[in-house]
Each structure stands twice: as structure tokens, then as C-alpha cells.
């Protein structure tokens, strides 16, 4: 397989729910239009931000179908589907569904209840799932803060190289820059390494990253494109200022409850996607009013993503 190296910002979309917590796929077409308007180049659906571990198999397929329906005409917008990790048979089912409906790629994280004992066992899991869709790019999703599996990705690349023909690369959501650079350098950059820590993007750019997947790209894509432009023109002073703006924005997630705060940011941009499902905590209406004041103090309107006119 000819491995593409994806460019630009790939958003990790939130899953849209109605006021009763039910899936609302009618919001996905305007969501796609919103991302395109802000120059986002793809979507990594049903992942951490999309509550992939909190939605049913049927809901995952409905979400994938909705994204396929509105993006399959768009060669410049790549949709990648997160499959999960604990039940490999379900992952294979989802991978085959994603291939059948014409999406771009699939991604698997490590099983996180019965954890693999070593890299070889993790590689076997990747091969089992990846071989079910041999004509579709397969990415591993490295996020040890949530899976509890922190094996060197350089070792995994070596274990998969030549054994899984459609292995395309890694969505790398961790801060081990030595491991990340080693993966990027392997066989002269053979594999696509997508950076997954928005608050550390500048450091990843220094190492040569050209594609990234992130939750904050949903609502602050202009900030990151400005950061990338500053780096590419060697204006490191401006790039550092912009990265700090990103950090200040992300700090509010910790202040107001974590991952669910991303949907509050989306609400501020004008796209209401509902709330997160249990066991994730959502902020109260009073907290949301305080949150909006903090958002104003960031000068959020100067770098937020905007709805199409």
C-alpha cells in the first residue's frame, strides 16, 4: 500500500447528542461544513473526544455512516474511524463496515482491560484487526494516559513493519518526544506519524510533524494554523506566544471538569452538540456562565473557529 502522510489539522469530533442524550446524526452535516470552513482536513471519529467507549456498536456505525454520507464526495477531507480495543471481534466488524461505506482509514488502540503483556502481543492484535481490511490504511492509536499501556511505539513499528501491509502509521498522543522522533525517522520516514497533543504542537513541529489530530482543532483551528505559519516562517517568538494561548485555553478543561468542556467551547462557537454521557461530568448552568467569562478573558473570539456565513 502507498502510505500517505496526511497534512494539516484533523479534528477529533464530538459525538452529537440531543437534549435527552440520544444520538443526533442530523448535526453531522453542518458539523462537517463547520470544519471545512475552518480548513480542517479530516475527522478522527468515535475516538476519545467522540466518546467512542461510551457509545454502542450500532451508534458507532450510525455515526460512521453519517460522516460517510456527507464527506465521501470530498477527496480533500479524510475520515478515520476509531474502532475501540477491548473486543477485537467488534473492532473487525466496525473496520469492515467503515471499508464498505467508503471511509478513509481505521484506527485501533491497545486493549485496556486485559492489557497486552508486551509489544509482540500488541502487534498480534493490530495484525488481527488490520488484516480484516487489507485495502484500507490502518493506524495504531497511542494514548497511554487512557489505556494504561505505555509500550515504545518505535518497537511496535518494527514489530509491524513487513507484517501488516496496510499499517500506515500512528496517532501519537503522548509526550515521549524521543520515541516520537525515532518513529518519524524509521526507514527515512516511511510511516505517517500524526501528533495528538495540541498543547505541545510546537515541539512536534520542530521534530518534523506535518499532520495532527486534536480535539481543540474543533473550535480553535485558526489559532493552530497561525502557529504553523509562524513556525514555517521561522518566527519562533510568535509561535511560542500562540502555543501559550493554546495552553491557556486547554487549562480551562482542567478547571471546569475535563474532556466535556470541549463541548462547552463548541457551544460558545455556536454549535450545540449536547452533553457527555456518564461517567463524564458536565458543568452546571452556573459554571457555564463562569466558563464563558474565562473564555472571554482569553480573547477567544480572535482565534476561534467560526460558523459558515
Nearest in space to 4 (alpha carbons), one of 231, 228, 189, 203:
189
Handedness of CA 163, 167, 172, 173 (dihedral sign): negative
The one catalytic residue among 141, 172, 219, 225: 141
The one catalytic residue among 171, 245, 263, 304: 171
φ, ψ dihedrals at 134, nearest 5°: -65, -20
Told to judge if 141 belongs to the known catalytic residues of this protein, a careful annotator would answer yes
Do 118 and 151 meet the contact criterion of CB atoms below 8 Å apart? Answer: yes
Told to judge if 140 belongs to the known catalytic residues of this protein, a careful annotator would answer no
In terms of DSSP bridges, do strands 42-45 and 138-142 run parallel, antiparallel, or are they unpaired?
A: unpaired
Residue-wise burial string across 219-232, b where 16 or more C-beta atoms lie within 10 A, e elsewhere:
bbbbbbbbbbebbe
**Cα Rg, the chain, nearest whole Å:** 18
Active-site residue list: 141, 171
Amino acid at each position: 500500500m502507498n502510505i500517505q502522510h496526511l497534512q494539516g489539522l484533523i479534528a477529533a469530533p464530538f459525538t452529537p447528542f440531543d437534549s435527552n442524550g440520544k444520538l443526533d446524526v442530523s448535526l453531522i452535516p453542518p458539523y462537517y461544513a463547520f470544519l471545512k470552513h475552518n480548513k480542517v482536513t479530516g475527522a478522527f471519529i468515535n475516538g476519545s473526544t467522540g466518546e467512542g467507549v461510551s457509545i454502542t456498536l450500532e451508534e458507532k456505525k450510525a455515526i460512521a455512516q453519517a460522516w460517510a454520507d456527507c464527506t465521501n464526495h470530498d477527496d480533500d477531507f479524510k475520515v478515520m474511524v476509531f474502532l475501540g480495543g477491548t473486543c477485537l471481534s467488534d473492532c473487525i466488524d466496525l473496520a469492515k463496515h467503515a471499508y464498505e461505506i467508503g471511509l478513509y482509514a481505521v484506527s485501533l488502540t491497545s486493549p485496556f482491560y486485559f492489557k497486552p503483556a508486551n509489544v509482540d502481543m500488541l502487534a498480534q492484535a493490530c495484525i488481527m484487526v488490520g488484516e480484516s481490511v487489507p485495502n484500507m490504511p490502518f493506524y495504531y492509536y497511542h494514548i497511554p494516559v487512557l489505556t494504561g499501556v505505555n509500550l515504545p511505539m518505535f518497537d511496535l513499528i518494527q514489530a509491524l513493519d513487513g507484517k501488516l501491509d496496510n499499517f500506515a502509521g500512528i496517532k501519537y498522543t503522548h509526550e515521549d518526544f524521543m520515541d516520537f522522533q525515532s518513529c518519524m525517522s524509521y526507514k527515512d520516514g516511511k510511516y505517517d506519524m500524526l501528533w495528538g497533543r495540541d498543547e505541545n504542537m510546537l515541539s512536534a513541529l520542530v521534530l518534523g510533524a506535518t499532520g495532527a489530530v486534536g480535539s481543540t482543532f474543533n473550535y480553535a483551528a485558526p489559532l493552530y494554523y497561525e502557529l504553523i505559519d509562524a513556525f514555517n516562517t521561522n518566527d519562533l517568538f510568535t509561535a511560542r506566544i500562540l502555543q501559550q494561548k493554546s495552553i491557556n485555553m486547554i487549562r480551562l478543561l482542567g478547571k471546569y471538569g475535563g474532556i466535556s468542556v470541549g463541548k462547552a467551547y463548541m457551544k460558545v462557537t455556536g454549535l450545540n452538540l449536547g452533553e457527555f454521557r456518564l461517567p463524564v461530568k458536565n458543568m452546571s448552568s452556573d459554571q457555564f456562565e463562569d466558563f464563558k467569562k474565562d473564555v472571554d478573558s482569553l480573547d477567544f473570539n480572535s482565534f476561534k473557529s467560526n460558523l459558515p456565513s
